[in-house]
Amino acid sequence: MSKLVAAALQMRSGTEPEANADAFEALVREAAGQGAQYVQSPEMTGVLVRSREDLASRIAGERGALVVDRAQALARELSIFVHLGSTAVALDNGRVANRAFLFAPDGQLVITYDKLHMFDVDLDNGESWRESATYAPGERAVVADLPLAGLASPSATTCVSRSFSARSQGQKPRC
C-alpha cells in the first residue's frame, strides 16, 4: 500500500478575504512542498465576520469567491486534492451558505457541502451567537470517493456538524 500524506491547515482567518486567501495559499504551498497529496483548511477559511451587513459586503457567490478560485487553481497547479474547509458564499435568496469545496488534482470540483447544523448559543458571559440568523443550513451530508491510499471516502463536514453527528451516536465530539 502506498503512503498518504495529508495536511490539516491551522489558520486564524479574519475579516479581509484577500489576506485570508494569501495565508491559505502560503500554507497549501508549504504542505504540498512537504509532500501532502490532500490538504484541508478549517471552517471559514475565506472570511470570518460576525456582522451580517459586513459579511455581505465581503463575500460573493460560489463563482467569484476569492478563496474558492484560489483553492481550485492551487489544486490544479500543485496536482493535489485541496479541501477548502468552508467559506461564506452568498446565495441567490439573500442568505449565506457556510460551504466546503473539494477540488481534485486536475482542478475539477469533486463535491460541495453546506454546513447542516447551525451554531446557535448563549454564553454565560451574555455573549450570543446565532449562525442561523445569517446562514442557511445545508440539506444533506456528502461523502467523496477519492483514489487515495489510506483515505476511504472522506466526508465533508464542519466542526458543529461533526459534533452533532457524534452526539447523536453517543460518542464524544472530536472538534
Asked if 129 and 120 count as a contact pair (C-beta separation under 8 A), the reply is: yes
59 belongs to a structural domain: yes
The C-alpha cell of 31 is what? Answer: 504542505
73 belongs to a structural domain: yes
58 belongs to a structural domain: yes
CATH of the domain at 116: 3.60.110.10
174 belongs to a structural domain: no
**β pairing state of 6-8 and 120-122:** unpaired
CB atoms within 10 A of CB 62: 15
175 belongs to a structural domain: no
173 belongs to a structural domain: no
State the residue range of the domain holding 91.
6-168
As for how many domains the chain has, the answer is 1
Angle at 36 (CA atoms; ends 88, 145), nearest 5 degrees = 65
Rounded Cα gap, residues 134 and 1, in angstroms: 45
1 belongs to a structural domain: no
pLDDT by position in tens, the chain (length 175): 478 899 999 999 999 999 999 999 999 999 999 999 999 999 999 999 988 899 999 998 888 789 999 999 999 999 999 999 999 999 999 899 999 999 999 999 999 999 999 989 999 999 888 899 999 999 999 888 888 765 554 545 555 444 444 443 444 444 3
Please state the pTM of the whole predicted model.
0.84
63 belongs to a structural domain: yes
